[in-house]
């Protein structure tokens, strides 16, 4: 089993690496691959579980919650201001996911897809702010740790999101199509066959089912590494480009890529949630049709 996971990790890493910008491949990067705990030595290490990327997620969550509180403070039938914008945002996302999931599933699962999309988007954009990946705390040994790090440039965060989805995907799938339907969807032969053909198809579809199970287990890994790789690669790109010129002009080569990163931040939020929605739809397709 461990070897399967090793294989999956390497496959995911290769897939992720193929989409990273070439600049990220340069040697001598400053931003480490892993998150750090800037408060590890504070108060005897009681905050050692707080990573610099986690702080960014908190800030993003705080911004979203404050915005939502302002938008939903006094909900009116005729919207205005913040409420108008929030409604436009939620309605657009609802319609987008509704087209993929169908009316029944989107009503049940939108809280996850909408919330995840907003969180990924805001976390990605916050990672582009000056200070993220530059402010650091040092100790007496000359070591330094960055105070802030892009939230999705931490595999722990992306893994937490993809594994939460994986758990919810299992729950939604079983409750929508039942245990029998779940396994039938994976292993049962599709089409109407008889005689020897039927036996052959049972064997073939069983093997296909095993591959499907493998792909199901790859999904959370692929989701995690795809998002992590794109965001971390983007940060590396910006960092490397800034190192190409004297410090006074460091912003210049990176400037066009900031616009690219704005697009990447949005695209990655869409890709993550879109793939999750597609995975759910593929499994619950039959169940959803029955509801109609």
Partner 1 sequence: MTFILAAAADAETAGGLSGIFTKFGVTWPFFIAQLINFVLVLFVLKKFAIGPIQGLLDKRRQRIEDGEAKLVEIEEKLAQSEKEKAALLEAANADAKRLITEAKDSAATLTEQKTQEAVAQAQNIITKAEEAARAERATMAAELKQEFGRLVVATTSQVTGKTLDENDQRRISDEAVATMQN
The strand pairing partners of 146, in sequence order, are 136
164 is a contact residue toward partner 1 (CB under 8 A): yes
- In the complex, the smallest distance separating the C-beta of residue 73 from partner 1, rounded to whole angstroms, is 10
Residue 210 Cβ, how far from partner 1 at the closest point, in Å? 22
Residue among 239, 28, 48 nearest 133 (CA) = 239
Backbone angles phi, psi at 39, to 5 degrees: -105, 25
Q: Give the total of residues touching partner 1 (CB under 8 A).
A: 65
The residue range among 124-132, 174-182, 225-233, 258-266 that interacts with partner 1, by the rule CB under 8 A, is 225-233
What is the x/- site pattern for partner 1, positions 193-222, by CB under 8 A? ------------------------------
Q: Report the nearest approach of partner 1 to the CB of residue 91 (Å).
A: 6
Shortest distance, CB of residue 102 to partner 1, whole angstroms? Answer: 16
Contacts 24+ apart (CB under 8 A), 86-92: 89/118, 90/114
259 binds partner 1 (CB under 8 A): no
User: Is residue 247 classed as helix, strand or coil in its secondary structure?
Assistant: helix
When the beta carbons of 54 and 270 are compared against partner 1, the nearer one is: 54
Q: Extract the tokens encoding 193.
A: 């066959």
Helix, strand, coil fractions of the chain, as percent rounded to 5:
75, 0, 25
Instruction: Write out the binding residues for partner 1, residues 64-123 only, by CB under 8 A.
Output: 64-65, 67-69, 71-72, 75, 77, 86-87, 90-91, 94, 110-112, 114-116, 118-119
> What is the rounded CA–CA span in Å between residue 97 and residue 289?
16
| Dihedral angle of Cα 123, 125, 126, 129, to the nearest 10 degrees | 160
Tokens 């049962």 label which residue?
Answer: 188
For the bound state, the minimum distance from the C-beta of residue 287 to partner 1, rounded and expressed in Å, comes to 22
Q: Of 92, 54, 30, nearest to 266 (Cα)?
A: 92
Q: Which of 63, 108, 136, 156 binds partner 1 (CB under 8 A)?
A: 156
**Of 1, 131, 114, whose CA–CA distance to 55 is shortest?**
131
Tell me: does residue 275 bind partner 1 (CB under 8 A): no
Smallest gap from residue 201 Cβ to partner 1 (A)? 36
Q: Which of these, 164, 179, 176, lies nearest to 107 by C-alpha position? A: 176
Q: Which is nearer to partner 1, 41 or 212 (CB)?
A: 41
- Encoded one letter per residue, x for contact with partner 1 by CB under 8 A and - for no contact, window 1-40 reads -x--xx--xx--xx-xxx-x---xx---x--xxxx-x---
Instruction: Report, in Å, the least distance between residue 107 CB and partner 1.
Output: 8
Query: Is the CB of residue 112 less than 8 Å from the CB of residue 168?
Result: yes
Nearest to 276 by CA among 69, 112, 40, 57: 112
In 3D, which of 230, 263, 241 has the Cα closest to residue 20?
230
Work out which of 97, 146, 182, 225 binds partner 1, going by CB under 8 A.
225
Residues that bind partner 1 (CB under 8 A): 2, 5-6, 9-10, 13-14, 16-18, 20, 24-25, 29, 32-35, 37, 48-51, 53-54, 57-58, 61, 64-65, 67-69, 71-72, 75, 77, 86-87, 90-91, 94, 110-112, 114-116, 118-119, 154-157, 159-161, 163-164, 225, 228-229, 232-233, 236
């Amino acid at each position: 089993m461990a070897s399967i996971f090793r294989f999956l990790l390497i496959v995911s890493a290769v897939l992720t690496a193929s989409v990273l910008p070439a600049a990220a491949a340069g040697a001598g990067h400053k931003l480490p691959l892993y998150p750090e705990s800037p408060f590890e030595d504070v108060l005897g290490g009681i905050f050692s579980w707080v990573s610099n990327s986690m702080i960014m997620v908190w800030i993003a969550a705080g911004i979203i919650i404050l915005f939502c509180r302002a938008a939903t403070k006094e909900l009116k039938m005729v919207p205005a201001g913040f409420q108008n914008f929030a409604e436009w945002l939620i309605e657009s996302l609802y319609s987008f996911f509704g087209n993929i999931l169908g009316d029944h599933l989107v009503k049940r699962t939108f809280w996850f897809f909408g919330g995840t999309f907003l969180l990924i988007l805001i976390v990605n954009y916050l990672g582009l702010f000056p200070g993220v990946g530059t402010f650091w705390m040092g100790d007496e040994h000359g070591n330094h740790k960055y105070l802030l790090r892009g939230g999705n440039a931490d595999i722990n965060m992306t893994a937490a999101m993809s594994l939460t989805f994986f758990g919810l995907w299992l729950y939604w799938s079983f409750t929508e199509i039942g245990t029998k339907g779940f396994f039938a969807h994976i292993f049962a032969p599709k089409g109407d066959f008889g005689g020897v053909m039927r036996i052959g198809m049972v064997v073939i579809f069983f093997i296909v089912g095993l591959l499907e199970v493998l792909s199901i287990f790859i999904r959370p890994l692929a989701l995690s590494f795809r998002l992590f790789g794109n965001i971390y690669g983007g940060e590396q790109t910006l960092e490397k480009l800034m190192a190409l010129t004297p410090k006074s002009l460091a912003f210049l080569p990176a400037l066009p890529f900031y616009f690219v990163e704005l697009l990447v931040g949005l695209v990655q939020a869409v890709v993550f949630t879109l793939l999750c929605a597609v995975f759910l739809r593929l499994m619950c397709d039959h169940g959803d049709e029955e509801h109609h």
